[in-house]
Structure 1
Amino acid sequence: MPRPVRPKIAYVSAQLPSYLAAEHRVVERSEQALDRLALALDFERVGEWPCVTSRAGAEVVAREAEELGVDMVLLQCSSFAMGDVVAPFGDGRYRLGLWAIEEPRREGPIALNGFVAMHLHAGVLTSAAAGAPRPYKWFFGLDDHPWLRDRLAVTVAALRGIRALREARIASIGGVAPSFWSLAVDERALRARLGVQIDVHDLGDVIVRARSVAADEVDRVVDDLRRAVRSVGAPDDDMRLGAATYVALREVALEGGYDALAVSDWPLFQETLGIHPGMAFSWLDEHDGIPVASEGDVMGGLSMRFAGALATGPAMLLDMNDVDLAADAIIMWHCGGSPLGFADARGATWDVHSTLGRKQPGAVPRGAVADLRFRHGPVSLLRLRSDGAELFALDAEVVAHPTAGFDGSRGWVSAFRDADGPRSAADVVSTVLSLGVEHHIVLSDGAVAPAAREVAAWLGMRLTPTVPYRDELVASAGGAR
């Protein structure tokens, strides 16, 4: 199973003794606030250091934080602090947060002057003297203030996403599906940029493994599969072949310690086993937490792992299949490899693949794949592009629609939003088609696009720009290719 991602955040207090941080218990109150947030947001507060009052002291703490492998240092100006104390924290591999709290009173002699110090530190980090600028994020207040509580919630999710990318191991099984050239990836460029490791496997090995799975193990898996759904419409033989394929893929995933798989689901599966492996994909994600990207889409698999870390839940790889302008909605669909947890109150079924062998004379409908409608609510649409150099990210909602959508895993999506505000379905279509955004888009639970965009800011990725719909030809606005 993918490794759990729980960020480590170090709190460091910087101050001058001539101010009143001690009298107002700034450090104690701040540590208590962070501990409450650590429980609520699921991060670990690590490290205990004396208050930093000089550059020499800052250098010691910065080095020790690096050795602890923290994901972020929150450098708090507990009172005013000199500009040189921030400099050593600008060189670490961790992310840097600048923090100040509100003044205990807003008249008379100033007690803390921490906001001014944070402002000074921001200027130091962006000055020519600091060398190449590096990103940082500011925070303000204690855990009852939105500028700490809400901003840190986005950052903790982003730190999970960064860790998931840095540690990701992806299995490419069978390569990219025939003619799906836009899904190709430069493995060396991706590893250099994000640290992602990709291992290549022969799909024939999976077929051999599937044919070798013991009958009693297939029986156990089929029983689990039947209990997980409302009904089963797929033939027994297909259920057994799908279960054996699940076991084979799971073996590969566990043996390699993979966080996601990218599998070419056609044509070899059909030529050898006569099935589509959608049920196996669905169950590997639902039961084991290992996302599987169809058609050998490595960046799709990585995007699923990334989105899952942001949302702390599963994600789906989908196509955009149709547009209803009157409803300002787009149907997101795939043939049936989605995790069952996305199903609405109707639940899911295992059924035959809706197009496999459909026009072949004498062909019998084969499966098995998941058939479900997505539950309504907030979601995000994400895609890592250009070997990790670019990010497509939108928030949206799964909404009600008069039609049920196409057989398979599906839902109508609307209420699109990017960093600048609401966008129409026409704007989304214009963007993906004008810029050639790869046709697999990840849909994840919850509004995690802000956290995804923060990851892009930390790692220097560009954002795929929205191309507003117009009737005339829109020149390429600088997409991934």
Structure 2
Amino acid sequence: MSNLRVGLVPIVRPLFRGSRLGLEHSSRQALEALGPKLGFELAFVAEPVADAAQAEAAARAAQNAKLDLLLVQHVTFATGDAFMPLLELPIPVGLWALPEVWESGPLPQNAICGLNLGVSLAQKPTKWFYGVVEDTWFQARLQLTLQALRGARVLREGRVLWLGGHAPGFFAFGALPETGLTVEKADLSELWAALAAVSEAEVEERASAFRELSEYPLEVLRESFRLELALEKLARPYDGVALREWPEIPDQTGVMAYAAMARLADMGYTLAPEGDVMGLAGMLALKAISGRPAILLDISHFSSKGVMLWHGGEAPQVWAGGPTRLVPHFNRNLPAVRDMPLRAGPISGLRLLPGRKAVVHGGVLNGDKGYDGDSGHLTRPTWAGEPLTPRQFLASWLNHRIPHHLAVGMGAHEEALLEMCVWLGLEVLPPRSEERRLVW
């Protein structure tokens, strides 16, 4: 995905001494220099705004610039008429105050007071910033917002394929995101046609490049490679694919889809199993925020080790905490699934829900492998930033009646996920860890 587009509108009241020091010019240069480091471009800069007419003109220009974030910079204090047209734009807005250039004598800018006025007048979510561009506090807050907006952008503007609908009986997976994500539906007949179009030469080329440990000889994996090539062709135009990978695929091809899905994930494709579009959306947001592939997992066991997270074997190798190998499916004994422990370390999770709701969670994987496929134990879980015990986490998940897939990304990104939900207008559910009585 391309860099985020950031705009800058400086607010400068000529009455203040600080308006004549060129602070808006030096901070603009510093912001432009920071862009490549944090993954944004300064795509729009307005002339300094001092009154309502100038603010309205700057607002029109900013909206036409198709920005992901607009920074309204208080170089000096200004009253609401000089910035309210900017706060009312349908664009994420940050209010930013520059520090005073001296600390005694005549007040030079009164910028932080302008920031205070601005946040008190804002009628929609607005992020505040303070400091010069070089300050670590300013950069940390901006970086967090940029991560959140990357997640928000893919959920607003992304395009995914729902191939075959949801798995049989998994009725909760029939819900679709309400964030603007475009979902295109296709029947599995398109997959059968794509499979028929794969040439033997393509299969041979894919087989000759195979290097992973496997319990199967190459000849047995040929149909898995054919499925991989067909899925890759269908996935190429999209940000992700939610695939109904059973029961039709193994019934018709004699192979499970998981090894093919795992190898495509190695190549950067995002595929969600069991036709879970909401899970796919969570994966895409986590990938955009973390910069690493995300996976879907089930809660499959609970013990003193924690909450065991598992799925059938479609995770990319970057998630592996040890050697990987292709093995038979645990239930059908068909080729093939990728077997591996999930790597130890912090994780973050997102589950979108109907009614513009979401669960944001996190924790640590301890590196202990569980069942065949991709598996690990969740320890030190958190829910919307609140620490829970593993039992409280499990109780909260069940008490809220959350569908059975956890979209999980690498790293501790709950703050960015929570901010993303604010920008998208999603209600984040609190933990609900009552362990004894009926909760409905």
* TM-score band, normalised by shorter chain: over 0.9
Aligned to 1:335: 312
Q: Are residues 1:248 and 2:230 paired?
A: yes
Q: Quick one: which of 311, 322, 340 aligns to 2:301?
A: 322
Matched ranges for 1:224-263 at <5 A: 224=209, 226-227=210-211, 229=212, 231-254=213-236, 257-263=237-243
Aligned to 2:5: 8
> What letter matches 2:14 in structure 1?
P
Matched ranges for 1:42-441 at <5 A: 42-125=39-122, 133-186=123-176, 190=177, 193-224=178-209, 226-227=210-211, 229=212, 231-254=213-236, 257-287=237-267, 289-324=268-303, 326-327=304-305, 329-344=306-321, 346-356=322-332, 365-386=333-354, 389-401=356-368, 404-441=369-406
Q: CA deviation at 1:81?
A: 1.5
Q: CA deviation at 1:19?
A: 1.8
> What letter matches 1:118 in structure 2?
L
Relative to structure 1, is the Cα distance of residues 420 and 247 closer, same or farther in structure 2, using a 3 angstrom cutoff?
closer
Q: Residues of 1 paired with 2:21 and 2:398: CA distance? A: 57
Q: Residues of 1 paired with 2:227 and 2:264: CA distance? A: 10
Q: Are residues 1:451 and 2:436 paired?
A: no
> What letter matches 2:53 in structure 1?
A
Identical positions, percent: 29
How many correspondences in the alignment? 440
Q: Deviations over 1:71-90 (max 9, x none)?
A: 11100101112211221112
Kept after mapping to 1: 8 A contact 2:12/2:19: no
| 1:111 aligned counterpart, secondary structure | coil
Q: Residues of 2 paired with 1:150 and 1:33: CA distance? A: 15
Q: Residues of 2 paired with 1:154 and 1:210: CA distance? A: 43
| 1:121 aligned counterpart, secondary structure | helix
Q: Deviations over 1:130-168 (max 9, x none)?
A: xxx311111111244344211111110111111101112
> What letter matches 2:224 in structure 1?
G
Relative to structure 1, is the Cα distance of residues 185 and 419 closer, same or farther in structure 2, using a 3 angstrom cutoff?
closer
> What letter matches 2:354 in structure 1?
S
Structure 2 segments unaligned to the other structure (5+ residues): none
Kept after mapping to 1: 8 A contact 2:74/2:95: yes
Kept after mapping to 2: 8 A contact 1:234/1:366: no
User: What RMSD in Å do the two structures reach over aligned CA positions?
Assistant: 1.8
Runs of 4+ residues deviating >6 angstroms: none
Structure 1 segments unaligned to the other structure (5+ residues): 126-132, 357-364, 477-481
Q: Residues of 1 paired with 2:248 and 2:218: CA distance? A: 21
Kept after mapping to 1: 8 A contact 2:349/2:408: yes
Q: Residues of 2 paired with 1:425 and 1:238: CA distance? A: 41
Q: CA deviation at 1:23?
A: 5.0
Kept after mapping to 2: 8 A contact 1:317/1:441: yes
Q: Residues of 2 paired with 1:267 and 1:18: CA distance? A: 73
Relative to structure 1, is the Cα distance of residues 56 and 250 closer, same or farther in structure 2, using a 3 angstrom cutoff?
same
Q: Deviations over 1:255-301 (max 9, x none)?
A: xx2111111111101211111100111122221x2211111111111
Kept after mapping to 1: 8 A contact 2:342/2:367: no
> What letter matches 2:365 in structure 1?
V
> What is the TM-score of this pair, normalised by structure 1?
0.87
> What letter matches 1:106 in structure 2?
E
